[in-house]
Amino acid sequence: MDSLRIMKTGMLLLTVLLISGSWAASLHADSSSACKDEDDNATKAEKKGGQEEKKEVKEKPETTEVKKKYIRLELSLKGYFEDPDAIPVSISTKNWGELKVTEPPVQGRKVKKGDLLLQFEEEKIKQRLNLLNSDLSMIDLDRQILTSEVKLAETLAPMEKKELDRVENYVRQDFERFKEIDLPYKKKSAAMSLKSYRDSLAYATEELNQLKKMYEADDLTEETEEIILQRTQNQVDRAKFLLEGAIKKNQEFNDVVVPREVVAVQDSYDRKKLSMSTIRKVLPVELKKKKLELQKLEEERAKLMKIKTELEFDAKQMSPRSPVNGILYWGTFKRGKWSGTTSLEPKLRKAGIIKPHEEFLTISPNKRTQVRIQLPEKYLDDLHAGMKGKIERLTKTKEKLEACLTQIGEIPINPGLYDLTVEVTIPDGEKNPLPGTLCSLKLVVYEKPDALTLPSSTVFGEDADPDSKFVYLPSKNGKPKKKKVEIGKRFGDRVEILKGLRLGTKVLSEKPKS
């Protein structure tokens, strides 16, 4: 009984507990829902407040104001120390082209004025001079001979002219004598010879006829008559024969010999006339030719003498000597920059070849120094002669040298580059920097302690005119106002304002969208 009672009591307590738990859960759920609603309401209010705050921010754009800043713009340019008194060395030969090194120069050697710098080969130029002297000796001999011949020809010229006149006169006289005397006489002689033969025949015939008449009178014996008549008859026959030959010879003389002799004499006369005429023309020409040959020899001699003088000068250049006391450098310095030794190593070794007029050595006294700089064109307006600056060396970087710009080239030395010369003050007791040493020039190109400035991002340019600059000023009605300004130097992220704004003026930090 007791156990049953206890079980009933337990069941009752369990029921009460279940009922109370479900009420508590319901109550908690209601309270959570209420809290959630309150939270949602609060979040909405906060968002609304935030949006209102953003609207307020949009309505007030960010601004910045014009401030005073210390502007100092410094320019750094690299350059080289230069010895303005340095003397480049070259071999300026006048005729000789082969400069072969036999004793190379020593880089960095200290030399005195008159010291031998290097030695070139002399043997070949001496051989050339010897040959030239031989040629000159031969020309002098030819010139002497030709001079004598010209003088002789000039002396004989009037005598030869007289002789030509005389011979020509003789020829003409001989021809005229032949025509007027010799030829007629020969013809007359031939006729007389023929007549003589005819007369002889006539005499012989007449004698024969007389003998016949006489012998018919019987003055002599018969035997004697026959002998005399026969002898006389023979004389008549021989006279006939001789007359016949004389007639033939006379005909041949008149028909053949005389015409041929006339032609031969005429031809001889014409030849002699032509010969005399030619000789008259040739003699002066030959004299003129000799004079021209003599003139040519004189010109050739003068040319060889010029070459000899040039070679003698060139021979002295084979042993170049230092013009001043100083340091010997291989290569050259161009606006302070040293060419170095690399390109000259093949040339300045033993048996190396140097071209005439090529600058291959430099003698630096190093008593004065200056700096040469290649100035970019964009800095031309920032620099002027007389500006002061500092020179920094690669060594002794803490010690800066006083510098002054002395000259700026008027024309570029390369596209976009101008030559700048800087005077440098070296402290007493300190050696001048070696030529070709690197350095830097420091210059203050602009300095203003109370410059009005703005951030570069607040200054804008017109699309149509980028050089026209302006800023945006805030206004009470929220509509930005455009303000034209004149800017100066830029430094870092700021720009100098020259005109258009005052100290403290506020401008928009960004360009408005509309």
Close Cβ partners of 418 (under 8 Å, ≥ 6 residues apart): 374, 375, 377, 380, 408, 409, 411, 412
Q: Has residue 29 been placed in a domain?
A: no
Is residue 306 domain-shared with residue 334, that is, in the same domain?
A: no
Mean pLDDT across the chain: 86
Q: Has residue 35 been placed in a domain?
A: no
Domain count, the chain: 3
- Both tokens of 58, joined, read 């949009």
Q: Has residue 38 been placed in a domain?
A: no
**Between 42 and 150, residue with greater pLDDT:** 150
Is residue 199 domain-shared with residue 147, that is, in the same domain?
A: yes
CATH number at residue 322: 2.40.50.100
Q: Has residue 231 been placed in a domain?
A: yes
Is residue 273 domain-shared with residue 325, that is, in the same domain?
A: no
Q: Environment class of residue 120 by beta-carbon count within 10 Å: exposed (0-12), middle (13-18) or buried (19+)?
A: buried
Residue range 55-68: mean pLDDT, rounded: 75
Q: What per-residue string of b and e applies to 258-286 under the rule 16 or more CB within 10 Å gives b?
A: eeeeeeebeeebeebeeebeebeeebeee
Task: Compute the distance between CA of residue 215 and CA of residue 219 in angstroms, rounded to an integer.
Answer: 6
CATH number at residue 207: 1.10.287
Is residue 461 domain-shared with residue 354, that is, in the same domain?
A: no
Name the domain boundary from 327, 342, 367: 367
Is residue 159 domain-shared with residue 296, that is, in the same domain?
A: yes
Answer whether residue 442 shows pLDDT above 60.
Answer: yes
Task: Compute the distance between CA of residue 136 and CA of residue 51 in angstroms, rounded to an integer.
Answer: 115
pLDDT (tens digit per residue) in 458-493: 999 887 888 889 999 998 887 899 999 999 999 889
Taking residue 235's Cβ as centre, other Cβ atoms within 10 Å add up to: 17
Q: Has residue 476 been placed in a domain?
A: yes
SS3 labels along 48-102: HHHHHHHHHHHHCCCEEECEEEEEEEEEEEEEEEECCCCEEECCCCCCCCCEEEE
Q: 248 is in which domain, residue-wise?
A: 124-316
CATH number at residue 386: 2.40.30.170
Is residue 343 domain-shared with residue 372, that is, in the same domain?
A: no
Answer whether residue 138 shows pLDDT above 90.
Answer: yes
In which band, very low, low, confident or very high, does the pLDDT at 397 lie, cut at 50, 70 and 90?
A: confident
Q: Has residue 16 been placed in a domain?
A: no
Is residue 348 domain-shared with residue 377, that is, in the same domain?
A: no
**Between 35 and 176, residue with greater pLDDT:** 176
Per-residue CA distances from 428 to 267, 401, 432, 447 (Å):
109, 12, 10, 31
Is residue 104 domain-shared with residue 146, that is, in the same domain?
A: no
Whether pTM > 0.75 for this model: the answer is no
Is residue 362 domain-shared with residue 438, that is, in the same domain?
A: no
> Is the Cβ–Cβ distance between 353 and 104 less than 8 Å?
no
Name the domain boundary from 281, 316, 351: 316
Is residue 148 domain-shared with residue 205, that is, in the same domain?
A: yes
Name the domain boundary from 300, 316, 332: 316
Answer whether residue 200 shows pLDDT above 70.
Answer: yes
Q: Has residue 39 been placed in a domain?
A: no
pLDDT at 224: 73
- Both tokens of 181, joined, read 């005397």
Task: Compute the distance between CA of residue 434 and CA of residue 322 in angstroms, rounded to an integer.
Answer: 19
Q: Is 221 helix (H, G, I), strand (E, B) or coil?
A: coil
Task: Compute the distance between CA of residue 255 and CA of residue 400 in angstroms, rounded to an integer.
Answer: 129
pLDDT (tens digit per residue) in 89-125: 999 999 999 999 999 999 999 999 999 999 999 999 9
Is residue 98 domain-shared with residue 151, that is, in the same domain?
A: no
Q: Has residue 155 been placed in a domain?
A: yes
Query: Any idea which residue has 């809290």 for tokens?
Result: 35
In which band, very low, low, confident or very high, does the pLDDT at 14 lie, cut at 50, 70 and 90?
A: very low
Written as one string, the DSSP assignment of 332-374 is -EETTEE--SGGGTTTSSTT-EE-TT---EEEE--SS-EEEEE
* Helix, strand, coil share of the chain (percent; to 5): 50, 25, 25
pLDDT at 15: 45
pLDDT at 207: 85
Is residue 263 domain-shared with residue 136, that is, in the same domain?
A: yes
